[in-house]
Amino acid sequence: MNFGHVPAPFSAGLWRDVVRLLAKAMERGGNDWNDLADSLGSGLSQLWITQTDKPINATVSRMDGDTVEIWLCGGNVLAGALPFLETILEAARMAGATNARIIGRKGWVRVLRPYGWRPDGDELVKDLVDG
């Protein structure tokens, strides 16, 4: 299994995989595909792909000041994103992030709590620097 950040521009084949993997997350969040493409193309957000023989997970992160947000995630999240979430957070730390947030379904609280995430209103948050 391979995991990594994929800089834009994307091949047509990879974009088809991204659309397939993120369709539910885009719909649930009421997001617009053109906005996502613009954000990725300008570097305001980052695409992370987990791949075996084909992409099995797509995750999109974006910086908001000193906070990294896990904006979108789709596909096989438990096997494809969760093992590599710390890699995304480490890249964000190197870019100056001091905390992280995820706005998602409430069921993720029990999955992410062991990794230092805690609920805060409708969000899950994590400190990225020691106190």
Q: Structural domains in the chain?
A: 2-127 (3.40.630.30)
Q: What pTM was computed for the model?
A: 0.94
- Cα–Cα nearest to 101, from 110, 92, 130: 92
User: For 80-99, how does the pLDDT look when each residue is reduced to its tens digit (9 = 90+)?
Assistant: 899 999 999 999 999 999 99
- The conformation of residue 84, written as its DSSP 8-state character, comes to G
Is the alpha carbon torsion for 112, 75, 51, 68 positive or negative?
A: negative
User: For 5-52, how does the pLDDT look when each residue is reduced to its tens digit (9 = 90+)?
Assistant: 999 999 999 999 999 999 999 999 999 999 999 999 999 999 999 999
Q: What pairs with residue 12 in β-bridges?
A: none
Q: How far is CA 8 from CA 13, 41, 45, 112, in A?
A: 13, 5, 10, 29
Residue that is written with structure tokens 């091949």 in the block: 11
Please tell me the total number of residues recorded for the chain in this structure.
Answer: 131
- Cα–Cα nearest to 69, from 110, 122, 19: 122
